[in-house]
Amino acid sequence: MNDFINKNKIYILPSILLVLNILAIIFHFFIKIPFKFELIPLIIGGFIVIKSTVLATIKKRKITAGMLVVLALIGTTYVGEYLSGSIVSFMMIFGEFLEDLTMKKTQNAVRSLIQLVPHKCRKKIGNKFEQVPIREVRPGDIIQVIAGEKIPVDGIIQNGQSTINEAAITGESMPVDKTKNDKVFVGTLNENGVIEILTEKIGNETILGQIIKTVKNAQENKGNVQKTADKFAEFFLPTILLICVITALLTKDIMRVMSILVIACPCALVLATPTAVVASVGNAAKKGVLIKGGVVIEELAKVTTICFDKTGTITKGTPEVVDVLICDESKRNEFFNTLAIVEKNSGHPIGKSIVKYLVEKQKIDLGKIPNGEFNMLFGRGVNVKINNNSYEVSNRKVLTDLNVDIFDSENNNIKSLSKKQIYNFLDHEEKLGRTALLVVSNGNILGCISVADTVRPYIKDTLNELKTLGIEDFVMLTGDNEYTAQAICDEVGIKHFKSNLLPQEKLDYIKELQSEGKVVAMIGDGINDAPALTLSNVGIAMGMAGTDIASDASDITLMSDRIDFLCETIALSKKTYSIIKQNIWIFAVCVNIIGILLSGLGFLNPIAAAIIHNTSSIFVVLNSSRMLGYKYKNDTPNHSRLSMQSN
């Protein structure tokens, strides 16, 4: 029971106050009871608001919207408007609850990052490896990692070779072949082979440790964003107090002062943001977009620059066969059968993508394909032997590693294509950042196949649509190489990119943009994106395709795998921000100014003032409720195509 309470304690108080306020409304308007039930939530909520406001004012040394609420509670309580005071205090607490919930999500992201580090590892003690807790490992120790295990340290391979999945650090989906003297990083996955690693860094000093540290720091920095209501309160509160003092000195009428406090009650101001936010969050949730609070919407509405991660965001994050070159059409069946024999039992992402292509596009029945002796050719490809036959799918290293000159005309192995055409295919595909492989049967080249991570549908139309919404610049940030980055940017129409980036470097670039006065949104899906997602003005995670860590570290999560939903989300935020400003300046500020003037002149008593300020609050709620049915409509040609594709 205690564990349940500790796990869900941030939900308890808002839930209790919500129930109490609903009951208070029922007992106030519909069912008469012998006492003022609204006093219960007013006392509980009022105490909490006053306590938190005093502590926040002392800590920040700034006037916040909470001080306006404290004055409002005094005024409404004095004139007996207990229900109004209760609702105002609840809205303040609910807003803080949303902030706490976002902070908890970030803490979950940090915990998930920590869990990437194995608790135990095999450390070399004497002449053998023994399993020890990770806390007993020090720089200089030799660690053994077998296939399927996560690497527990940052270090250098001393013995062995393997394929390492570094998605946790670089965000790239393609595993990397590594051997002696190559660097490896904590949290990455050893997909095959046994390697021995000389430990260089442990704990907070590792790349992953730095990611965890930057996520924490970024969240703290981001927490300093000031809400619109707080900015307004900085000048509004002193003004109201000054007016009250002047009125008291000139009129000696305490009822006029109370009327001013009541009409100045920030019900409309306090309700301005959360009511619009709740309506917008509900609207977005129906479309599979999760938005974490009002500050997020306000910031998203101001975004000028969007930074995109490449893998899993602009691209699908999984390799696909994109091109095939067959040397001799008469040997077409042999070409595909050789591919099937070699890749049938492959666990490598490239092998899996080829198998998927063979089954779905070429309709090959893998059950009829014989099994052979499977051999990984490190840094080159895969070889399978069946009886005296040898089949291979490898990169261009096969051209120098084979014992015979495969382009010798006496071999008669290339009837339709020249040596130049083969090399042109390899060069062209590799310049596009793709993986180009040769298909070889018994020393004869049958053709080539190209595999790549392909771009998402709708991406080009999405970028065009974002421009119409006021986004000034797009930048792609990737851990991939420059050639691949350039090819992807050219394909989708992004002018600027940064390649070969580690997580800290992505973070530094976000800071650089912000220092230039740009409001930056970062959209990504990987663990390595977490720091940038957290520090950017708005972090947006690709939910279904991405990691839980990225989702927890972000402000907005696109739960579907559809990047085109970003357009509607930004349009929604801009409309919501417009509604919030209407609520504040029309229904809060204007009504308050007129009401304060009339109260100071004696035309309004406290009861009349309470009626007016409650009426303005009702209009705020009605205005905000328009966001429940908001639909993004744009008749530009780009959007018409986008809508058709989305459907």
CA 143 distance to own-chain centroid = 34
This prediction's pTM = 0.70
Assess whether pLDDT exceeds 70 at residue 245.
yes
Distances (CA, A) of 610 to 35, 82, 240, 600: 21, 11, 16, 15
* Average pLDDT in the chain: 82
pLDDT of 472 above 70 = yes
Provide the pLDDT for residue 639: 44
Strand duo 289-291 + 556-558: pairing: antiparallel
Please measure the distance between the N-terminal and C-terminal CA atoms of the chain and give it in whole angstroms: 47
Give me the mean pLDDT over the 469-478 stretch.
Answer: 94
The SS3 of residue 297 is helix
pLDDT higher than 50, residue 642: no
Question: Which of the pair, 345 or 314, is modelled with greater confidence?
Answer: 314
- Whether pLDDT at 412 is above 50: no
Alpha-helical runs (H) found in 176-266: 207-222, 228-251, 254-263
pLDDT digits (tens, 9 = 90+) for 38-78: 999 999 999 998 998 888 888 877 776 677 778 778 777 87
What six digits make up the tokens of 101? 């919930």
Residue 252: what pLDDT?
87
Q: 171: pLDDT confidence band, cut at 50, 70 and 90?
A: low
* Cα 586 to Cα 375: distance, rounded to the nearest angstrom: 74
User: What confidence tier does 292 reach under pLDDT thresholds 50, 70, 90?
Assistant: confident
What are the residue numbers of the active site? Answer: 309
Instruction: Return the exposure string of 322-358: e unless at least 16 CB atoms fall within 10 Å of the residue's CB, then b.
Output: bebbbbbeebeebbbbbbbbbbbebebbbbebbbebb
Name the range with the highest mean pLDDT among 358-362, 372-376, 502-506, 583-587: 358-362
| Domains of the chain in sequence order | 120-151+154-201 (2.70.150.10), 290-315+457-570 (3.40.50.1000), 317-455 (3.40.1110.10)
pLDDT tens digits along 90-105: 877 876 776 566 556 5
Worst-scoring range by mean pLDDT, 45-49, 131-135, 201-205, 287-291?
A: 287-291
Q: Is 546 a residue whose pLDDT tops 70?
A: no
Q: What is the pLDDT of residue 223?
A: 45
Q: Can you say how many angstroms the Cα of residue 402 is from the centroid of all Cα atoms in its chain?
A: 47
Of 89-103, 144-158, 363-377, least confident by mean pLDDT is: 89-103
Residue 586 has pLDDT above 70, yes or no: yes
pLDDT, mean of residues 535-556: 77
With contact defined as beta carbons under 8 Å apart, do 113 and 170 qualify?
no
Strands (E), 387-532: 389-394, 435-441, 444-455, 473-477, 496-498, 520-524
Residue 107: per-residue pLDDT: 60
Mean pLDDT throughout 627-633? Answer: 85
Give the mean model confidence (pLDDT) for residues 629-643: 57
Q: Report the percentage of the chain scoring pLDDT > 90.
A: 33
Residue count (the chain)? 647
Task: Give me the pLDDT at residue 82, please.
Answer: 87
- Region of residue 630 (phi > 0: left; psi between -120 and 50: alpha; otherwise: beta): beta
What is the model's pLDDT at position 159?
93
- Half-sphere exposure of residue 590, counting CA atoms within 13 Å on the CB side? 10
Rounded CA-CA distance 520/477 in Å is 13
Q: What pLDDT is stored for residue 156 in this prediction?
A: 95
- 3-class secondary-structure state, position 156: strand
pLDDT in tens, 609-627: 767 877 887 888 889 889 9
Q: Which residues contact 320 (CB under 8 A, 6 or more apart)?
A: 353, 356, 357, 451, 452, 453, 454
pLDDT-wise least confident of 130-134, 242-246, 413-417, 464-468 = 413-417
Tell me the pLDDT tens digit for each residue of 316-364: 888 899 999 998 888 899 999 999 999 988 878 888 899 999 999 999 9
Is the pLDDT at 641 greater than 50? The verdict is: no
**pLDDT(408) > 50:** no
480 beta partners: none
What is residue 541's predicted lDDT score, i.e. its pLDDT?
87
